């Protein structure tokens, strides 16, 4: 969603790096580039002006001029101001002191309200709640049926006493018969809350009707439902791809329904993302959730600080960790930790478990984009074919249980059978086994504390490569015949114990013939200082 904006801002900051001091012209050029990047991303003009003026004021002050690294200080200022216009602090659902908590969804038709209702129900169920979906959208054709299908996928019950518009006619008018009603959404909402109280549901999610454009009838219906059910939260679901139109739509709903929070849907699209940076700044209402796909698990709590880090290509490791904690079961993680510490072989069965957990986490592309600095590889990530992992899984599942735990025993005939069973070539099976063998070696090296290939061992983990003691270099023979003869004589004398260095341990180079404590034969004790003879052991 924010690829274009992220690339523009990254290029802007790249020009600042390496400068020990920022002049006023540097600051002006940076602010101008940021302004153009935000306008190009469809951010509302009032938000752009407010943002750039705040950045300029802080960048020209003592905060940057006194910094050791002015460029990093400017990036820090931009990051903090991005967090501010995105809402500041993370805002979560405020549950009622006395259940059930009533959550009303509002927005335009096609913004993704019904899909988000199922996602929110599944998310609340994971948090330990017992949600109920209420089908109060009785005007859009087959809206009730869609909510029932979504609720079934999410594992959340749906209250739908009215079938609504099933014939595909206009929402209110039917030609030849005058005004036609498909049910009263206000009474359905009231009955849904009563049903939730009787069935002990602690959260009620009311899915209301939408229109193709903002009109008085829609606003009045939504206002009537709000007055009837008195919801604890009113969430305005807005399509993150509609650009500048998001601002006036959000203002109209704020005046007509007075929502308490915003939900950004279709955040996985390829639009420029200006709606996300405009809605919170223009309405003063926080963004609470982000919808990032079609499946019920594709929902994220909106963290302004993490989203700002994504825009500035700093990654979002915290969200990645949270997704991993939800996807990896505790038993599997403990077993993998035990095998890792025990230096047991990593098998293809372990590989299948890891791949299954990765699939539960979501799209591999979206996970990689949460890593710091991956924005610079956006083109490579877009070209990543995730179907390759399906082919790898097919090859592994074509193996027998013995082959999965003993990959070294997979000979030529077995490889041919695996290739035929998975619909790939033998060379692809060979490549898989080769890469898997390298992965096994790396896992063992990590368990021994040897670190990653090309990296030093981990301190305190033991193991690692032992430091080799450098052997002294032997002195080569000289090419001069006279010098070489002298070297040979000295070597012979050392071997016989008569060389100038003498045998090891002899004081002053004396040989063994001098006795254990006697002075060397060629040494005159009278030439030594007075009293020094006692160190020679002589008389």
Binding-site residue numbers for GTP are: 107-114, 207-211, 265-268
Structure tokens at 213: 């454009």
Q: Do 79 and 312 touch, CB atoms closer than 8 A? A: yes
The sign of the dihedral angle between the CA atoms of 168, 173, 179, 181 is positive
Indicate the DSSP class of residue 105: E
Packing angle, helices 274-283 and 245-256, rounded to 10: 30
- Residue 280: name the closest of 268, 263, 296, 266 by CA: 263
Report the alpha-carbon distance of residue 70 to residue 72 in Å, rounded. 6
E strands present in 359-436: none
Cα distances from 9 to residues 37, 119, 236, 301, 415, in angstroms, run: 7, 32, 29, 25, 50
Number of H helices, E strands in the chain: 22, 10
Sequence-separated contacts (24+) of 211-217 with Cβ below 8 Å: 211/108, 211/109, 211/171, 212/108, 212/109, 212/110, 213/108, 214/108, 214/248, 214/249, 214/252, 214/253, 217/172
* Residue count (the chain): 539
Structure tokens at 402: 């013995």
Residue 116's Cβ-side half-sphere holds a number of Cα atoms within 13 Å equal to 31
Q: Which residues are annotated as a binding site?
A: 107-114, 207-211, 265-268
């Amino acid at each position: 969603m924010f690829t274009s904006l992220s690339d523009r801002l990254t290029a802007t900051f790249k020009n600042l790096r390496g400068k020990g001091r920022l002049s006023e012209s540097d600051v002006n050029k940076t602010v101008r580039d940021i302004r153009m990047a935000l306008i190009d991303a469809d951010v509302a003009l009032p938000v752009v002006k407010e943002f750039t003026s705040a950045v300029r004021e802080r960048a020209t002050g003592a905060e940057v001029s006194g910094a050791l690294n002015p460029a990093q200080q400017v990036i820090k200022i931009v990051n903090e101001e991005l967090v501010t216009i995105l809402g500041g602090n993370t805002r979560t659902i405020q549950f009622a002191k006395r259940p059930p908590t009533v959550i009303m969804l509002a927005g335009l038709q096609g913004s993704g309200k019904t899909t988000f209702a199922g996602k929110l129900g599944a998310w609340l169920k994971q948090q330990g709640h017992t949600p109920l979906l209420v089908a109060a959208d009785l005007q859009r054709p087959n809206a009730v049926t869609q909510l029932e299908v979504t609720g079934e996928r999410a594992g959340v019950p749906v209250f739908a006493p009215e079938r609504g518009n099933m014939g595909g006619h206009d929402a209110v008018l039917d030609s030849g018969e005058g005004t036609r009603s498909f049910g009263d959404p206000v009474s359905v909402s009231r009955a849904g809350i009563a049903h939730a109280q009787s069935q002990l549901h602690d959260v009620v999610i009311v899915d209301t009707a939408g229109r193709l454009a903002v009109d008085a009838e829609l606003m009045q219906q939504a206002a009537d439902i709000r007055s009837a059910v008195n919801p604890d939260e009113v969430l305005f679901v807005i399509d993150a791809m509609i650009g500048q139109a998001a601002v006036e739509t959000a203002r109209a709903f704020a005046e007509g329904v007075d929502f308490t929070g915003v939900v950004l849907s279709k955040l996985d699209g390829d639009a420029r993302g200006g709606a996300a940076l405009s809605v919170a700044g223009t309405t003063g209402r926080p963004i609470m959730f982000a919808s990032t796909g079609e499946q019920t698990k594709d929902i994220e709590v909106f963290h302004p600080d993490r989203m700002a880090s994504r825009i500035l290509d700093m990654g979002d490791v915290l969200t990645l960790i949270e997704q991993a904690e939800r996807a990896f079961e505790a038993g599997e993680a403990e077993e993998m930790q035990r095998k890792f510490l025990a230096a047991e072989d990593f098998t293809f069965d372990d590989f299948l478990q890891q791949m299954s957990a990765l699939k539960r986490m979501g799209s591999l592309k979206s996970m990689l984009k949460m890593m710091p600095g991956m924005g610079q590889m956006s083109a490579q990530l877009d070209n990543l074919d995730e179907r390759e992992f399906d082919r790898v899984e097919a090859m592994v599942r074509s193996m027998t249980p013995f082959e999965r735990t003993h990959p070294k025993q997979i000979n030529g005939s077995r490889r041919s059978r695996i290739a035929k069973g998975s619909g790939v070539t033998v060379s692809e099976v060979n490549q898989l086994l080769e890469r898997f063998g390298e992965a096994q070696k790396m896992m063992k090296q990590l368990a021994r504390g040897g670190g990653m290939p090309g990296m030093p061992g981990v301190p305190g983990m033991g193991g690692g490569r032992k430091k080799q003691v450098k052997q002294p270099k032997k002195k080569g023979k000289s090419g001069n015949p006279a010098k070489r003869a002298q070297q040979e004589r000295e070597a012979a004398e050392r071997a016989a114990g008569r060389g100038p260095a003498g045998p090891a341990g002899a004081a002053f180079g004396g040989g063994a013939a001098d006795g254990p404590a006697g002075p060397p034969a060629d040494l005159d004790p009278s030439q030594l200082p007075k009293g020094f003879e006692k160190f020679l052991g002589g008389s």
